[in-house]
Amino acid sequence: MPILEGEGVTKHFGGLTAVSRVDFHVDQGEVVGLIGPNGAGKTTLFNLISGALVPKDGAIAFKGQGITGLKPHRICRMGLARTFQSVKVFPNIPVFENVLLGSLFGTSTGMSSADASGEAEKALEFVELSAVSPILAKDLTLANQKRVEVASALATKPELLLLDELMAGLNATEVAEAMELVGRIHAQGITIFMIEHVMKAIMGVCDRIMVLHHGEKIAEGTPQEIATSKTVIEVYLGE
Amino acid sequence: MNTITLGLKKWWIPGLLLVILVLLASLRFYVSTYTVILATAILMYIILTESWVLFSGPTGYISLAPAAFFGVGIYTAAILGMHLPLPVVVVIGGLASSCLALLVGALTLRLRGIYFAIFTFGLVEFMKHLLLWYEIKFTGTRGRFVVLVDNNTIYYMMLAILVVLLLTTYLIRRSKYGLALRSIGEDEEAAAHTGVNVTAVKVITFAISASFMGAAGAIIATRWTYVDPYIAFDPLFSFMPVLMAIFGGMGQFYGPILGAAAFAYLEEVLITKFPYYYMLLFGVILLITILYLPNGLVGLIQRLQKGGWGRRHANT
């Protein structure tokens, strides 16, 4: 059963069609990858799903409920969390409070502050950052800032997590650690929809991959099918 | 021994605050009327500054609307002062200002940075001219007389408003909404995606902040006895809170209080001692502050606490 579904989703920026009539779906429990060359509209699609942008056309449903045009905080509270390509932590707020914001405001039911603290601690432990919890987020390395972002998304108790280039800018060791983290998140029963440029990562962890090019969906299938697909190779390497 | 130090640490701040409050409350018994009036002005500036910081400090939205909210309070007193008891007038002044803030906030808090500042400043001018037009067209006068209240009552009302404001600020700062406000200032988009209803948090805090400005306006109007739109919506009351907050330093709870008190007192001293040069001196002092004390008086105090001027930290 699809947890996330989009139909004919379209977004223009002036004369540019960033996302054009894209149909997609993510099933409960899946790890779905979204790839495509720069400017293909991947992040725009994520922005449309998370409510940062409102589609011009088309409809998006989460758990069977329409979320098109809802405010980001409403979508987050329904159980759909995300991270950003250009890491968005709260730089001058300690790591713990960064995550606490998620459990205080982002959960569907709301929590007492004691429960929220507990939840934030758990999320920090999960991403292995308990040791730095009193440090300002801006003083962490990029890899750790990305982990803070993930922790604060996890603290909102999501059912679906959108990861926008979690591995971009990380070194080989950090990529391996990030892949392991994605695996553990998935093992918690959280469905994952991820944008990634690191092919090794995406081929390794995804059940299914979607390819965007110039705002249109040009291919979809298992990692094997995508790796051997003629259209995809043409798009990436030229004819 | 350890528990005693701990206990002292826990109680000395509330204790100090209580002593200050008692001193302020009994001020009229051992100082001249002039000092009471001066203290009233200082309290008023502290209210304007602290309520400005309540919203603009954590969110980073620079509001230049204080004069508008202050003026609404002033006109509430001018219109209702003769008919209703003073505390009711003050409360209505606060409510009227917060209603205006709710309306304006809902319309404009999507603007960021300089656009928000300019719009809120425009609000001051708009309110001024709207009232001018109304008064000339419908009442046929330009100004109004405000009910007379004795100086001590004004002082106590001002003090009461300040106490409520400081309690409100303290509670908001340590609540989860304080954290939400800070997250909005740090990265609004991330805050929204973490589940913070950014619009509601901003608009409501803006309205709370405005209500104290309105209340202060309603009570100070009774000291001025005559107001017209030019007096009530003087842009100076928009700039003063910003300058005072910068002067005091916004990093700490007490910074704006310190800044407003020092600034207001300084203004009074300069006006009385150097009536011709006071603006010039004022400007020089402000420039020096911004150049050499970027974190305001609070920054100065912290620097002295850390071991004086000589020590500099490496860039960590």
Which chain B residues are closer than 8 Å to A117 by Cβ?
A: none
Give the C-alpha separation, B192 to A51, whole Å. Answer: 9
Confidence of residue B307 (pLDDT cuts 50, 70, 90): low
Closest CB to B186 among A92, A106, A153: A92
CB spacing of A101 vs B196 below 8 angstroms: yes
Q: Is A158 on the interface with B (CB under 8 A)?
A: no
Smallest CA–CA distance, residue A197 to chain B, in Å, is 23
A150-159, B70-79, B161-170, B259-268: least confidently modelled range: B259-268
Residue A205 lies in a domain: yes
Residue of chain B whose Cα is closest to the Cα of A107 = B195
B130 pLDDT above the threshold of 70: yes
Give the C-alpha separation, B39 to B33, whole Å. Answer: 10
Do the Cβ atoms of A208 and A193 come closer than 8 Å? no
Residue A159 lies in a domain: no
Domain enclosing residue A229, as ranges: 1-70+167-177+194-239
pLDDT at B4: 60
Residue of chain B whose Cα is closest to the Cα of A98 = B183
CB spacing of A105 vs B192 below 8 angstroms: no
Residue A23 lies in a domain: yes
Nearest alpha carbon to residue B244 among B40, B66, B48? B48
Positions in chain A whose pLDDT score sits under 70: 239
B270 pLDDT above the threshold of 70: yes
Q: What CATH number corresponds to the domain at position A3?
A: 3.40.50.300
Q: Is A193 on the interface with B (CB under 8 A)?
A: no
Beta-bridged to residue A192, according to DSSP, are A31, A161
Which chain A residues are closer than 8 Å to B60 by Cβ?
A: none
B251 pLDDT above the threshold of 80: no
Give the C-alpha separation, A118 to A155, whole Å. Answer: 10
Closest CB to B179 among A52, A84, A97: A97
Residue A30 lies in a domain: yes
pLDDT at B316: 46
Closest CB to A93 among B186, B189, B195: B186
Residue of chain A whose Cα is closest to the Cα of B179 = A101
Give the C-alpha separation, B261 to B138, whole Å. Answer: 40
pLDDT at B285: 84
What single-letter DSSP state applies at residue A213? E
B312 pLDDT above the threshold of 80: no
Q: Is A93 on the interface with B (CB under 8 A)?
A: yes
The strand pair at A191-195 and A31-35 is best described as parallel
Chain position carrying tokens 């003629």: A230
Q: Is A53 on the interface with B (CB under 8 A)?
A: no
Residue type present at position B127 = M
Smallest CA–CA distance, residue A232 to chain B, in Å, is 32
* Interface test with chain A among B175, B193, B315, by most A beta carbons within 10 Å: B193
Tell me the per-residue pLDDT of A36-55, one tens digit each, with 9 for 90 and over. Answer: 988 899 999 999 999 999 99
- Comparison of pLDDT for B284 and B97, the residue scoring more: B97
Tell me the per-residue pLDDT of A2-21, one tens digit each, with 9 for 90 and over. Answer: 999 999 999 999 888 999 99
Q: Is A82 on the interface with B (CB under 8 A)?
A: yes
Residue of chain B whose Cα is closest to the Cα of A82 = B193
- Comparison of pLDDT for B312 and B72, the residue scoring more: B72
pLDDT at B203: 95
pLDDT at B11: 80
B313 pLDDT above the threshold of 60: no
The strand pair at B226-227 and B144-145 is best described as antiparallel
Residue of chain A whose Cα is closest to the Cα of B183 = A90
Average pLDDT over residues B112-135: 92
pLDDT at B286: 82
Closest CB to A52 among B180, B186, B189: B189
CB spacing of B195 vs A84 below 8 angstroms: no
Do the Cβ atoms of A198 and A192 come closer than 8 Å? no
pLDDT at A15: 87
Q: Is A138 on the interface with B (CB under 8 A)?
A: no
Q: What are the backbone angles phi and psi of residue A194, rounded to the nearest 5°?
A: -130, 140
The overall longest dimension of chain B from CA atoms, in Å, is 73
Total number of domains in chain A: 1
A17: helix, coil or strand?
Answer: strand
pLDDT at B110: 80
pLDDT at B3: 57
**Domain residue limits, chain B:** 34-234
Tell me the per-residue pLDDT of B25-47, one tens digit each, with 9 for 90 and over. Answer: 888 888 899 999 999 999 999 99
Residue A39 lies in a domain: yes
Residue A106 lies in a domain: no
Smallest CA–CA distance, residue A235 to chain B, in Å, is 32
